[in-house]
Amino acid sequence: MARPLGVTIISILVLISAILLIIGGTLLSISGIGLGFISGVGFLFLIPGIIMLVVGIIYIIIFKALRKGKNWARIVLIILGSIAIILNIINGIQALIVGDFLSLIYPIILIILQGIIVGYLLFSKTARRFFS
C-alpha cells in the first residue's frame, strides 16, 4: 500500500523536529562546554544539550520507521503526542494562573497540532491500514 499523505506530512514534521533538536542540542552542548571552563556551571547547559541530541536521534529513527510503515513508530508517536498534549494543558493552566495570556497562545497551538496528529494516527482508516 502506498504511504498516505497524512503519514508523509507527519513524518516530515518529525524530521524537522529531529533536525531542530539536533541543532539546538549541539549549540547548547557547545555553550555548556564553553561555560564549564569559564564559570563551572556548564553542566547546566551540557546535560540538556545531550538530552536534546539523544531525542533528536530517536526522532530520526522514528522518522525512518514511519516512512516504512512500522506500527511501533505510530504507537510511539501516539504516546509522545498524548504526553505533549497533557504537558501543554498544564502549561496553559500555568499561564492562566499567572495571568500571562500571551503565553497561552503557544500551548493552544501545540495542543491543536498534537491533537490532529494523534487523532489522525489513531482514527484514520488509511493510516491504520498503512501501519498494519
- In angstroms, the CA 45 to CA 14 distance is 24
Identify the pLDDT of residue 106. Answer: 86
Only one residue has cell 556548564, namely 42
C-alpha cell at 16: 524537522
* Model confidence, pTM: 0.81
- The secondary structure of the chain in percent helix, strand, coil, rounded to multiples of 5, reads 90, 0, 10
pLDDT in tens, 62-71: 999 999 999 9
Q: How confident is the model at residue 103 (pLDDT cuts 50, 70, 90)?
A: confident
Domain locations in the chain? 5-131
Whether 45 and 25 have beta carbons less than 8 Å apart is answered as: no
